[in-house]
A and B are shown apart, each in its own frame.
Chain A
Amino acid sequence: MTDNVDRMLRPLMHTSREFYPFVAILGLVFVVSVYAYQQQLVYGMGVTGLNDVTIWGVYIANFIFFIGISHAGIAVSAAVRLLNAHRYKPIARIAELLTIVSLIMAGMSIVIDLGRPDRAMLLILEYANRFMYSPLVWDITAVATYLVLSTTYLYLPMRRDIKVAMERSTGWRARLFKYMLPLYEEGEEATIDRLSFWLAVTILPVMVMVHTTVAWIFSLLSSRPLWFNAFAGPYYIVAAVASGIASVMVIAAVVRKIYHWEDIIKPDLFRGLSNFTAMTTLVYLYMMMAEQLAALFAGPSGEVFVSEEWLFGSFAALFWLMTTLGLVIPFLYMLVQAFRKDYVNIEWTAAMSLMLVIAFWFKRYMIIVPTLSIGVQQVGIYSPTWTEIAILLGSFALPLLLYTVLTKVVPLMELEVEHDA
């Protein structure tokens, strides 16, 4: 038993040689992106490919993407707590961490997209005047609430694991864990379990509202083809759940390999997540087909135009590549795997999940760019500049960096898993 606890706390206590070059590379990419952002601040949005017609581009695609990824943590963790799905417990905290890192990145994506980020404080100063009318303000409200509840949901149950880590460590690590454990009292677990249960109950509707309000930012604009859509909320939520769970599978496979947790993060866990992802991807493909069919068959002229550009025009290559390679092939792989009894190939499942995640990023790009650049039949050619690409790369390096550093501070696994075993 002791041996297992030590293995679970290993990421906190030991740092491999590969850790430092990995962090250094991510740090370097991030520094380059900070330079690019500095250029954007100094010279204005003119250094990006954005223009009067295409006012949103890769930054807003990133925002929707990260909000989507953030759904995974709470979905998995709440399922563990509310549905007694104990077999997913080993990855619950891995997923919760992903939620928090993704939410931070979503917020940063909005700030990066602002031409005058120094005016971001107006969101708070003018809140009372804006929340009546603005879906953007509803979304900020939902994201802030979700972030606060998610950090609480991560921290409270983690206290018992921090206590164990503190008892097993010395020097600066022991002091750090002590600071992370204010007001500790013996027997607090029962109160924390009750609070965590209620957190799980209340955080789920907030999670749904977060992506619904993201969808409303677009779908309440009636003049934008393919945005004005009554089922945008559910449509976005399905994409969020599929891409989020796929991200969890990728990270869980990597963590499992690095820390040799093959006996803790078991194959049947991947099988369950893979089956669920296949189902949500199928629902998403169905919704995508329904959206395109309605637009092409009887949509207003703008909808027909944008839809034709998606399927047969200037965005067709990207659309079909994304749909076949990123959605259909992973779905078929996971479906075939689901029908093979007791079979799961973790490496291939992780690879297919990664393809899904990438495809969902491009899907978010497809939501934004065609509608804005050609949606009102104007010529608003959009092509991301090196500044945007550098910031984009940085926005992927930073969450990886944050996540990697957090694995050195936060126990990656609930130690109860060990007791359950």
Chain B
Amino acid sequence: MHEMLVYLALAAQSVASAMESTVNPLGRPLGLIVVGIIEAPVVVLLLAALIGKPRSPKITGLFLGWVFVMFGAFIGAVFFLSYLLGIFY
């Protein structure tokens, strides 16, 4: 009986911890902080490109265009590969 109660308590404890882990108040902002740290330099770079001197609208446009096209190419490549390899399923 005693062992049964211990097992039940342990099972309840593991269920509670599993449920809590998805709404962990420390876990949620952690992802935001990490992605923020990764992308913060990009924000600095874009600001430097837009307000720094010497400046050329043509080259700044080329730079921003290149960055956005490359991001698009990355996302496009993921989708393209997904569809291409999907023909095997």
Contacts and interface: CB of A to CB of B under 8 A. Distances in A.
Interface of A: 41-42, 107, 111, 116-121, 123-124, 131-134, 137-138, 141-142, 144-145, 147-149, 151-152, 155-156, 182-183, 185, 188, 190-192, 194-195, 198-199, 201-203, 205-206, 209, 213
A203 B38 contact: no
B60 interface: yes
Contacts of B82: 117-121
Contacts of B48: 194-195, 198, 202
B41 A120 contact: no
8 contacts: A120-B82, A132-B30, A133-B22, A133-B27, A152-B70, A183-B62, A185-B56, A195-B48
A145 B79 contact: no
Interface in B34-78: 34-35, 37-42, 44-45, 48-49, 52-56, 58-63, 66-67, 70-71, 74-75, 77-78
Counting contact residues on chain B (CB < 8 A from A), the size range is 35 or more
Contacts of A198: 44-45, 48-49, 52
A194 B28 CA distance: 37
A145 B54 contact: no
Given A118-B85, A152-B66, A192-B59, A202 B44 contact: yes
Task: Summarize B's interface: helix, strand, loop or mixed.
Answer: helix
B18 to A, nearest CB: 13
Interface of B: 22, 27-28, 30-32, 34-35, 37-42, 44-45, 48-49, 52-56, 58-63, 66-67, 70-71, 74-75, 77-79, 81-83, 85-86, 88-89
Given A132-B32, A133-B31, A145 B62 contact: no
Contacts of B42: 145, 149, 202, 206
Given A41-B85, A138-B38, A144-B71, A120 B78 contact: yes
Nearest to B52: A194
A111 B32 contact: no
Return the 4 tightest CB-CB contacts between A and B, nearest first. A118-B86, A202-B41, A132-B31, A121-B82
Nearest to A114: B85
